[in-house]
Each structure stands twice: as structure tokens, then as C-alpha cells.
């Protein structure tokens, strides 16, 4: 079977959960003797012959289609480009003609036009879409408004227009337009540095965790923009429903899509797994002596909530607990987080780690903390923790409660609440035997080999549907 995987980014160069999963899926499909190709969106500024840049690595054929020469200046035009972009649809057709895939498996449409789905169907390909995020009705992907305010949904585009569609003004608009243009990369780099210097002179460069308070978030009504968002959402839904199969990675994600107009019977829940879970040493977690070792693992971004853990750790004795943050962190962010801990010696920053070092990282902690502000659709770090039999303290929203069972495999706390998170941390410090009890109940994730056979079953189901469609009534 020939399979074309589709993402926005080159999976070889990014470390997002989607990239990790798709790389592992490609390797597993190759082991099952299938042909695998991967299409992704190239960076703006390069102009490959024919609109496609081809390469091959470790048995996978890669096709990068040309990035947008410039980003549309007006929001209305950007919204339309999310649905249809002839400049990207033409090279996509060239890739289909050369690869001739049996199945196109889409994993990330952000930056790519949704019309790729009906275009693939029109060429006789079967299309499977895994919905990892909320891009079809949230251009922020995460259902988070500025100021880290949780969003219940698009409300037919009204919330998108009201909270997330402010136009940049003045020099900010000029810098953004030029940086996204067709100038050579060195020139764009100089302009980017000039923009940073401009912000330093204004005194407004700092940590990404320095956020506007929710009350300062603009709450404006622009009927034309609301209508444009509503049109985008309806068009995205129509394009996605052209797929043979729609998959979500959690029950929470499926429920959210159903609330936004997707038929429940068109969506199947297929949780992810990753190959790393089979390389991680699984052992019972037993705290035999203080300090209890708590760990945050992954991306240091506000919506993942490391600042909640930093603040919750303040004042806790290093003789009782240690808190280690694993992951790349900018100097300004480290200073901000360190200030939240009030300089606690119990807190340390281990810095960047590689995928090869992941097993060692998980072996160095007793409890993983998932303090996400965003409502996770699943979370690869949680899967990896399960593989290591690590108990998790997690925010009680999104998909986290689907694999963190309160007082069975971990502990849940009120999302966004430092006091609630701290209470669960203190609970473990006062009763370290709880770690062993929780760890003994943590289930191992599904092996990648079992998962890929389930994916292949779904591919076969999609192809069987094609045969039924061709059969005369």
C-alpha cells in the first residue's frame, strides 16, 4: 500500500507531539512493508522547480510544497486562504500524480488549505484525517484566548472575531509584513533583529509568561469579521467531511468536534502511542527517602503551565521535595519562573534534552506534573510517563482525566489553580507511600506495533468504502 502522510512542518526538524508521532508511524508502516511518502509545507522564500522539493531519507520520500510568498495582510483573506490556496493546491496535485497514493493520511492542516482533502478524493485517493488539535474552528489551535483565558468554542466565529483577530498597528504591522515577504533570508534576519532592538528600546521585551490580564483583552464586535470566521468554519467542516474517515485522539476531542457541528457517527476515537514508550525503562516508583522528586517535562510555554508549578513549589523545603524542569528555556523565561519560586533551592532547570535522553529523564523523577492551562487533546508526555509507570499530577480538564484516574493512577487538581496543585504536591510529600500505590496502577501504553495494525485496519476500511462507492446499486 502507498501511503502519503501530510503535516505542516518537516517532521525531521520539529519536536512537537504530532511530529514525534508521525515519524514513528512512518517507521512502523515501513516495517510492515508499505511505501511511505510525507508531504509538508516548505518555508517561504524558496522556489523549488515545479513547486515541489523532493528528497528521500531512511526509506521515506519527502515532498515539500512551496510556502506562501507572503501572508495575506487582511484577516478576511487569511481566513479564505485556510480553505483554498491555488498556489499550494497545484503542487499538491503534482505530488499526488507522482506518488499515486492509495491513502492520504492528514495530520496537520494549519498553514495548508483544507481543499486538499476533496482534491485528493477527486483523484481517487482515500483520505483519513487525524484531528490532533482544534484548527478547523480555532486559528489559535488550542481554544485559548489572549491572556491564557480558556475558550469554550468558536460560537460560530463570534468568539474568534471578538478575541483573537486584532490587526497589528503601526510599525508592528510593517515589520510583520516585511518579515513574511519575499526578501532574501539574510535581509529578513536583519529586519527581525531590528524589530527586537526596537522592542528593547521600548522596554517591552521580556518573558513570554508576562501576559496581559484577561480584563485587558479587547472585546470588540466586527460583524464582517464574525461572518468571515463563520464562513471559514463552515467551509473547513465541509472539506473535512469529504474525508473517508475522521479520527480524534481522545474522547474529549471528539466531544469538542461534535459540539462544533461534526456528526458523532463520522468520528472514531483512536488514541496515539509513540515508539519511545517501548524503549523507556518501566519500573515501580517507590520513594524510600526524601526528597520526593517532581518533574516537569517538555515545552516551556505559558499554555503548558510550568509557571503554575514554579509558583506552587515556592516555600517547599528542598529536604522534602525537588522540582526539576526539563526542556529548553529562554533566559528571560528562566528568570521569570525563578522569581515565581521566590528563589527556592528546591527548584532547578535541567535544560534541553534529546529523544535519546528521555528514558534517563523519566528515570530521574518520582512524579510527573502536567499543569496544562490548555485542554490537552491527549499529550505525548503523558504517554511516555505511563510507559515509565510514573504517577501524574495533572490538570483536571481536556483529555488528561482519560488517562490520569484520580487517586488510582495519579492525582488531579483544579485547572489553573496554584493552591490546588500545591495541595496535591503536599499530599504526596506528607504520604510518600502514595507514589508506590499510584504507580502500581499505571497501565502501559499500547505498543506501536499494535497501534499501527489498528491504523492499517482503518486504511483498509477506507479503501473498502471506495469499492462500495464504485459498485452499482
pTM more than 0.75: yes
Q: Give domain status of residue 112, yes or no.
A: yes
What residue numbers bound the domain in which 112 lies?
A: 2-143+226-273+448-470
Q: What is the pLDDT, as a whole number, of residue 122?
A: 95
**In a shared domain, residues 369 and 386:** yes
Residues 338 and 414 in one domain: yes
User: C-alpha angle 359/361/363, rounded to 5°?
Assistant: 70
Euclidean distance between CA atoms 372 and 352, whole angstroms: 19
- Residue 222 is predicted with a pLDDT of 81
Question: Whole-angstrom Cα distance, residue 210 to residue 167?
Answer: 21
Residue 262 shares a structural domain with residue 283 = no
Same domain, 390 and 463: no
Q: Does residue 187 fall inside a structural domain? A: no
pLDDT of amino acid 341: 96
Is the same domain home to 458 and 332? no
Asked whether residue 68 is domain-assigned, the answer is: yes
Secondary structure (DSSP) of 41-67: EPPTT---GGGEEEEEETTEEEEEEPP
In a domain, 126, yes or no: yes
| pLDDT for res 125 | 96
In a domain, 219, yes or no: no
Are 294 and 258 found together in one domain? no
Quote the pLDDT of residue 385: 95
Listed residue (349, 426, 372, 420) closest to 144, CA to CA: 372
Residue 155: inside a domain: no
pLDDT at 213: 64
pLDDT along the chain (473 residues), means of 10: 95 87 96 96 58 93 76 76 91 96 96 95 96 95 87 89 66 46 53 58 70 58 88 97 97 97 97 90 94 96 96 96 96 95 96 91 97 93 95 97 97 97 98 98 94 97 74 44
CATH number at residue 418: 3.40.50.2000
- pLDDT at 273 (0 to 100): 93
417 and 466, same structural domain? no
Residues 330 and 454 in one domain: no
- One domain, residues 264 and 280: no
Q: Please tell me whether residues 89 and 39 are part of one structural domain.
A: yes
Is the domain of 95 the same as that of 241?
yes
Query: What integer pLDDT is reported at residue 451 of this predicted model?
Result: 96
Give yes or no: residues 353 and 262 share one domain.
Answer: no
**133 assigned to some structural domain:** yes
Q: Report the pLDDT value the prediction gives residue 182, as an integer from 0 to 100.
A: 45
CA contacts within 13 A on the Cβ side of 269:
14
* Res 355: pLDDT: 84
Q: How many domains does the chain have?
A: 2
| Residue 85 contacts residue 116 (beta carbons within 8 Å) | no
pLDDT of the residue at 424: 98
218 inside domain: no
Of residues 256, 249, 254, 252, the one with CA closest to residue 267: 254
Amino acid at each position: 500500500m502507498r501511503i502519503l502522510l501530510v503535516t505542516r512542518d518537516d517532521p525531521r526538524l520539529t519536536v512537537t507531539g504530532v511530529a514525534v508521532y508521525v515519524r514513528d508511524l512512518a517507521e512502523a508502516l515501513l516495517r510492515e512493508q508499505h511505501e511511505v511518502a510525507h508531504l509538508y509545507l516548505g518555508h517561504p522564500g524558496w522556489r523549488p522547480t515545479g513547486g515541489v522539493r523532493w528528497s528521500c531519507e531512511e526509506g521515506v520520500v519527502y515532498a515539500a510544497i512551496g510556502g506562501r510568498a507572503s501572508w495575506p495582510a487582511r484577516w478576511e483573506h487569511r481566513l479564505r486562504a485556510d480553505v483554498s490556496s491555488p498556489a499550494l493546491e497545484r503542487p499538491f496535485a503534482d505530488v499526488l500524480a507522482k506518488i499515486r497514493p492509495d491513502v492520504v493520511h492528514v495530520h496537520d492542516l494549519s498553514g495548508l488549505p483544507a481543499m486538499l482533502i476533496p482534491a485528493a478524493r477527486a483523484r481517487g485517493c482515500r483520505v483519513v484525517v487525524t484531528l490532533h488539535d482544534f484548527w478547523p474552528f480555532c486559528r489559535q489551535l488550542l481554544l485559548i484566548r489572549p491572556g491564557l483565558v480558556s475558550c469554550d468554542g468558536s460560537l460560530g466565529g463570534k468568539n474568534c472575531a471578538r478575541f483573537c483577530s486584532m490587526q497589528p498597528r503601526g510599525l508592528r504591522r510593517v515589520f510583520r509584513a516585511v518579515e513574511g515577504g519575499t526578501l532574501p533570508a539574510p535581509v529578513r534576519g536583519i529586519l527581525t533583529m531590528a524589530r527586537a532592538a526596537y522592542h528593547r528600546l521600548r522596554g517591552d521585551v521580556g518573558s513570554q509568561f508576562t501576559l496581559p490580564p484577561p480584563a485587558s483583552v479587547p472585546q470588540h464586535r466586527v460583524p464582517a469579521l464574525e461572518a468571515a470566521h463563520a464562513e471559514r468554519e463552515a467551509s473547513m467542516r465541509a472539506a473535512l467531511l469529504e474525508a473517508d474517515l475522521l479520527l480524534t485522539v481522545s474522547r474529549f476531542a471528539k466531544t469538542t468536534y461534535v459540539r462544533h457541528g461534526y456528526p458523532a457517527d463520522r468520528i472514531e476515537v483512536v488514541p496515539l502511542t509513540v515508539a519511545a514508550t517501548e524503549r523507556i525503562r518501566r519500573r515501580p516508583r517507590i520513594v524510600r527517602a526524601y526528597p520526593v522528586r517532581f518533574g516537569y517535562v517538555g515545552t516551556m510555554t505559558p499554555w503548558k503551565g510550568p509557571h503554575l508549578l514554579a509558583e506552587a513549589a515556592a516555600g517547599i523545603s528542598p529536604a522534602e521535595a525537588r522540582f526539576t524542569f526539563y526542556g529548553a528555556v529562554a533566559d528571560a523565561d528562566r528568570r521569570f519562573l525563578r522569581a515565581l519560586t521566590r528563589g527556592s533551592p528546591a527548584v532547578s532547570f535541567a535544560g534541553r534534552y534529546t529523544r535519546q535522553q528521555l528514558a534517563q529523564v523519566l528515570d530521574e523523577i518520582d512524579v510527573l506534573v502536567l499543569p496544562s492551562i490548555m485542554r490537552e487533546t491527549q499529550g505525548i508526555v503523558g504517554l511516555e510517563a505511563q510507559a515509565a509507570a510514573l504517577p501524574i499530577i495533572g490538570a483536571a480538564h481536556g483529555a488528561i482525566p482519560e488517562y490520569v484516574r484520580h487517586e488510582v493512577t495519579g492525582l488531579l487538581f483544579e485547572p489553573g489553580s496554584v493552591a490546588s496543585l500545591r495541595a496535591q504536591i503536599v499530599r504526596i510529600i506528607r504520604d510518600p507511600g502514595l507514589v508506590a500505590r499510584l504507580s502500581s496502577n499505571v497501565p502501559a501504553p499500547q505498543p506501536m506495533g499494535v497501534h499501527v495494525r489498528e491504523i492499517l485496519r482503518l486504511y483498509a476500511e477506507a479503501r473498502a468504502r471506495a469499492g462500495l462507492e464504485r459498485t452499482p446499486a
